[in-house]
Structure 1
């Protein structure tokens, strides 16, 4: 599968993205179920993957940015895609993605078209984050389906409740502040 794909001209271009930084864009029409680009990098065991990801997250406290390109390959290995020759690392998140990551024989990770993709369309996938640090990952995809944060769709019902709770708490706080101001003004 990958040997034949490597000989062909890439189906995508890399250019600036309104979602975030740079992104991948369809060079030409891409038919549904087409294998577009392989996610490549260093194969690392789970302990090393955790160590690298945690080190990046720790350094982000000083730098303000953490780009973790770890991708789960199987139960034993991950792919650290933080290498210049891994264009797939530039695919941005979307709440309404047009590609998904698929593992081939637990050896390779490929982005595959979920639907027909038009020339010039940005190639996006759902990063599939859990809700552990959801507030640290606002979404900028701008689609009609955007939930506002980067999270796997399976978590959306819970995320919607968390967002509603956060908004309700802000509203209560604002009302309490207004009431306190009104009481203070009445006592003058």
Structure 2
């Protein structure tokens, strides 16, 4: 069961706004489906370079630009995240709870690219985030 109806946006201590839950989400639960515009690798590179678009996910088949989504573009990085991303199909991904998430907790993932760790504010990285 997806938890999208139980998610909301508010100011984040991590960066800007974030996605939070109003209910407990058990480990292994599907938090939400990640959808967006399916684009080619060439278009992905262009958007990242020319538009500074950082709201792009990828799976085995495609790149998915989520910059126009209502929620997922507010998904913040954490080196100790409570969620992870898994392939769903050629046009979407699943956001899944890594562990139990309590009401009021921010939903996070590990962005998993080197530049983010250089500016991360978590206790593991000890510097400031610039995402």
Indicate the TM-score class for this superposition, using the shorter chain for normalisation: 0.7 to 0.9
CA contact (8 A) 2:4 2:31 kept: no
1: distance between equivalents of 2:43 and 2:4?
33
- Confirm or deny: 8 A CA contact 2:34 2:92 kept in the other structure: yes
Q: Distance in 1 between matches of 2:6 and 2:44?
A: 29
1:92 corresponds to which residue? 76
Q: Which residue of 2 aligns with 1:81?
A: 66
Matches of 2:105 and 2:46, distance apart in 1: 35
Where does residue 37 of structure 1 map in the other structure? 32
Task: Name the residue aligned to 1:139.
Answer: 120
TM-score, scaled to structure 2: 0.85
TM-score by length of 1: 0.61
RMSD: 2.2
- Structure 1 unaligned segments of length 5 or more: list them: 58-66, 151-188
**In 1, are the aligned partners of 2:6 and 2:22 still within 8 Å (CA)?**
yes
Name the SS for the 1:10 alignment partner. Answer: helix
| 1:55 to partner: Cα distance | 0.6
Q: Count matched residues.
A: 128
Higher relative contact order (CA closer than 8 Å, sequence separation 6+):
2
* Cα deviation, residue 93, structure 1: 0.4
Higher strand fraction (1 or 2): 2
